[in-house]
Amino acid sequence: MRDLVIEWLRENVPPPRLAHILGVEQTARELAELHHLDAERAAWAGLLHDLAKYFKAERLLTMARAEGLLLDPVEIANPHLLHAEASALVARDQFGVHDPEVLEAVRCHTLGRPGMSPLACVVYLADAIEPGRGNSPELDQLRRLSQSDLYAAIGLACDQTLEFLIAKSRLIHPRVISVRNWALQTAQVERKPILRAQSL
């Protein structure tokens, strides 16, 4: 089945995105092993997470509405945020994936969700820290924290996302805030303050 998914991806995403997806697949596997989770399911969710990444805005909105999803005004203004939900639908309908935890991990990889499973946390973080994302002090801090506490790392990832969106004067989905608060309340380690980019 993995080969079928990769073949489909080659036809639907550009090569750099496929490289990112394979990086997320591997990073999710490694993080899951580190945190004693199911590495195969984590890798599978990582491979599936961006199936709908290049779907057009109208297609994403149509899929979400057909599924009966309640859309936030921020999602309507920026339908690309729906690609995670749409990717889970493609995984289910195109590839017959019905594992609820894998589908949750795919759905949650962009915005997260309070109370999401540890497997979903792994994929959320793998998407942010896979090697193709490059290197920076902020990424290095997030990678280190991901190894010790998934929830503290998600809180930090939310902080970094918020700083980026604010600096760019972009809309902020309310789930970024709720996920941040949930993650920090769940975290087991005290987190050092966020590293700030020199441009901020």
Residue 199, pLDDT score: 39
Task: Tell me what the mean pLDDT of segment 46-58 comes to.
Answer: 98
Q: Does residue 61 surpass a pLDDT of 60?
A: yes
Q: Does some domain include residue 199?
A: no
CB 34 within 8 A of CB 24: no
CATH number (domain holding residue 145): 1.10.3210.10
Q: Tell me the torsion sign for CA atoms 116, 122, 123, 125.
A: positive
Residue 89, pLDDT score: 98
Neighbouring residues of 70: CB distance < 8 A, sequence distance ≥ 6: none
Query: What is the reported pTM?
Result: 0.92
Q: Does some domain include residue 14?
A: yes
Residue 188, pLDDT score: 73
Q: Does some domain include residue 191?
A: no
Q: Tell me the torsion sign for CA atoms 193, 194, 199, 200.
A: negative
Q: Does some domain include residue 31?
A: yes
- Among 2-6, 69-73, 136-140, 194-198, whose mean pLDDT is lowest? 194-198
Q: What is the pLDDT of residues 28-42, one digit of tens each?
A: 999 999 999 999 999
Q: Does residue 97 surpass a pLDDT of 50?
A: yes
CA distances from 76 to 60, 69, 71, 133 (A): 10, 12, 7, 27
Report d(CA 85, CA 63) in Å as an integer. Answer: 9
User: In this predicted model, which residue has the larger pLDDT, 170 or 192?
Assistant: 170
Task: Tell me what the mean pLDDT of segment 174-185 comes to.
Answer: 96
Q: Does some domain include residue 37?
A: yes
- Among 104-118, 153-167, 176-190, whose mean pLDDT is lowest? 176-190
Report d(CA 171, CA 161) in Å as an integer. Answer: 11
Q: Does some domain include residue 144?
A: yes
User: In this predicted model, which residue has the larger pLDDT, 197 or 2?
Assistant: 2
Residue 67, pLDDT score: 97
Q: Does some domain include residue 70?
A: yes
Q: How many domains does the chain have?
A: 1
Report d(CA 28, CA 105) in Å as an integer. Answer: 11
Task: Tell me what the mean pLDDT of segment 90-96 comes to.
Answer: 97
Q: Does residue 193 surpass a pLDDT of 80?
A: no
Domain containing residue 175: 2-186
Q: Does some domain include residue 198?
A: no
